[in-house]
Chains A and B, each alone.
Chain A
Amino acid sequence: MKMMGIIFASDNEARLNELTIHRTTASLPFGARYRMIDFMLSNLVNSGVTRIGIITRSNYNSLMDHIRMGRDWDLNRKNSGIAVFPPFAVNTSKEVYRGKIEALYSILDYIRTGNEDYVFVCNSNVAINMDIEDMYDFHIATGADITVLTRKQATNSSKRIVVGAKEGTRVKEFLINEGFGSGKTETVSLNAYILHKDVLCGLIETAYARGQMEFETDILQKKTKQLNIQMYNFNGYAGMINDIKSYFNESMRLLDTGIRQELFYKYGKIYTKVKDSSPTIYSNDAKVVNSLIADGCEVNGTVENSILFRGVKVEKGAVIKNSIVMERGQVQENSQLCYAITDKNVIIRPNRVISGFETYPVVVVKDKTV
């Protein structure tokens, strides 16, 4: 398999509101020590793909800081390795790219360089541990022009692409659905594709020449009949993050050991930036159950059904329930968090009570003190 990877660092940020003010979706913290991009990056590396381009749109500082030279994914190579494309203007109006097609058009030279025949193109909003080689084998076996990664799931996220099949795995239609899902099981696109490099370049050039910008609507939807588009159905865990609600739900699903085993080990490990934190220390006053806790924390209070990222301090008397506390957060004496998501470096002063609701968790923005 000679394949390269292209990851879009930004997609539907608008729906993640407070959590993506300071960052792209790719650098959204997830699973107590990871960023969303770690999953697809690790899948690519574990499947032997070592030339990976990351296309950013805005707020990419935190992403650059996370990726650095790609060493933590074993991607600091002499040949291949990671290339991060900052948002540069390709069009005459000097604007940042207007859609996936324009973004891909702007890096056609990068795509064409190198001896890989196939391209894996994906977003960074799916937490998944998959074998890309298996999807590639499927792509070859079905003689597809485009293979779409899909998963059968109950649709409850706000924006999704539902894929319909004719017979077998050939895609008949792409429906882009807005609004809350019906909850019934549908085949949903995980926004990842395999194409032959020549097919991709040809489609992009043709579409761009016609002023088309969106890969999903201008290529997938419009060319469903002409092209052999196949769906590769993934049966394991895949957490698609589209909004705060799905972010919270998918985070909490990690408290299930079966799901963690799948997401963190199944086809290889998930790598992330190494921070050299010391192990977490629990004091005599710690009461912790059903929680996922990263290194570098100090726990002196109560933590239930929650996720603590690296370097979190929980002071005496503090109670954290059904919440997510991101890196270096502090929950000081006798404060309470319930159904809350506190972003990086948030400090909750003593005796504060912050409470959301299961379907509507409260978000405290990065660097704020409550």
Chain B
Amino acid sequence: MLSNKKQCVAMLLAGGQGTRLGVLTRDVAKPAVPFGGKYRIIDFPLSNCINSGIDTIGVLTQYQPFELNQYIGNGQPWDLDRMSGGVFVLPPYMKGKSGEWYKGTANAIYQNINFIDIYNPEYVLVLSGDHIYKMDYSKMLKAHIDSNADSTIAVIDVPLDEASRFGIMTCDKKGNIVKFTEKPAEPDSTKASMGIYIFTWKTFKEYLIADEADNTSKNDFGKNIIPMMLKDGRKLIAYEFDGYWKDVGTIYSLWAANMDLLDENSGINLADRTWRVYARNSAEPPHYIGVGATVQNAIVSEGSIIYGDVKMSVIFQRADIGKCIIENSVIMPGAKVGDGAVIKYSIIGQNAVIGAGAQIGSDQSNRVGEAKKIAVVGPNAKVKENEIVPDTAMIEAE
């Protein structure tokens, strides 16, 4: 029998402003930022959900929702156009006489308690919209159910010297979380929270209501809900994940995650048909590589036309690449690059136009990790002929 009852409902936190991505999120919500040649960031959690058998997803968003809303549509590309369940974009709305923006991650879920209750789930999966990874949530859910936990938090091992950038979980021998510290100065564990939580809904709802009643709370998972549950002696367990996972919340990390797709040892393989990533299709013809072009170590998507030398780069749909040089760069959908341009270590936004002979960015191969300076030309921005855009620049459309 078809009923509204779901074992697990996913809530995707897509409400962050994404200020660290600068011009790339000026006009779109972070989850709608293009990634990997033909995807958007949100395709990863959405595809993970459907591949894990979770077919009811609320997407919580409040900044620049139009493009994201249009992109998600009825959820058909992810097989989420369902009779019961499916994908829903949930912006904040007026309730009776009151109504407010999402104050924090916990408040965003709190404001949608009624949505979750429609499906009367046993468990709620909380996801964020700024990570690239392939993960089977059903395994995590099984671990949660088997251990009879109140909450299960996915963690990934990070190098000790980077641990102070993450929310760090300290566990006992059985995997129970005993301490959670947000960005600790002196980390005592290398288990970083991936921003993926499973809660037993009955307990979770109580905590959301209690948190909302507390005027001093920041209404945040990391700062309030998890510490409160730990204080009360609730059972919180860490679920260890050892696959590829990357936060793409900064210009550098977004660039680096795109570059990981070119490295067969990076652990992320989009071509793996057993765990497909779905995207809304834009019905473009195949790409064309012209006479005189060189395309090596590159990812190229549909509808693009290439006449230049492209190396170590990711070229999205409909990019129009003249006789230019593109190295270690990300060229987003519909961008046009004129003849003679040289683009190195850059991100060129959607429908940006790079004039002939322009120089964008510079070689950063001598710099390590985040010291690399990635030049950014924002969506719809225009770079004039022969203009020089230095590696630290971020060009915005007028």
Contacts and interface: CB of A to CB of B under 8 A. Distances in A.
A33 B285 contact: yes
Contacts of A255: 288
Interface of B is mostly: loop
Contacts of A291: 288-289
Contact of B295 (A32, A271, A274, A288): A288
B300 interface: yes
B285 A295 contact: no
A296 B276 CA distance: 12
Nearest to B314: A279
Interface of A is mostly: loop
Interface in B247-299: 261-262, 270-271, 276-279, 281, 283-299
Contacts of A115: none
Most A CB within 10 A of own CB, among B277, B284, B285:
B285
A52 B314 CA distance: 39
Interface residues of B, number: 36
B84 interface: no
B300 A279 contact: yes
Most B CB within 10 A of own CB, among A263, A281, A286:
A281
B283 A295 contact: no
Interface in B1-38: 36-38
Interface in A31-74: 31-33, 71
Most B CB within 10 A of own CB, among A282, A283, A292, A296:
A282
A174 B284 CA distance: 38
A279 B283 contact: no
Nearest to A294: B286
Given A31-B286, A33-B286, A264-B285, A276 B278 contact: yes
Nearest to A76: B76
B290 A290 contact: yes
B211 interface: no
Nearest to B36: A279
Interface string B115-155: 00000000000000000000000000000000000000000
B301 interface: yes
Contacts of B305: 257
A345 to B, nearest CB: 14
Given A260-B285, A293-B289, A278 B302 contact: no
Contacts of A308: 286
A332 B216 CA distance: 65
A286 B284 CA distance: 23
A274 B281 contact: yes
Contacts of A293: 286-289, 300
Contacts of A287: 294
A221 interface: no
A270 interface: yes
Contact of B37 (A263, A274, A278, A298): A278
A290 B289 CA distance: 5
> What 3 A-B pairs have minimum CB-CB distances, sorted nearest first?
A279-B37, A278-B270, A32-B286
5 contacts: A32-B285, A281-B261, A282-B299, A283-B297, A295-B302
Interface of B: 36-38, 76-77, 261-262, 270-271, 276-279, 281, 283-302, 305, 314
Interface of A: 31-33, 71, 255, 257, 260, 263-264, 269-272, 274, 276, 278-296, 298, 307-308
Given A281-B261, A292-B285, 11 more contacts: A33-B286, A257-B290, A257-B305, A270-B285, A278-B36, A282-B298, A286-B296, A289-B289, A291-B288, A294-B302, A298-B271
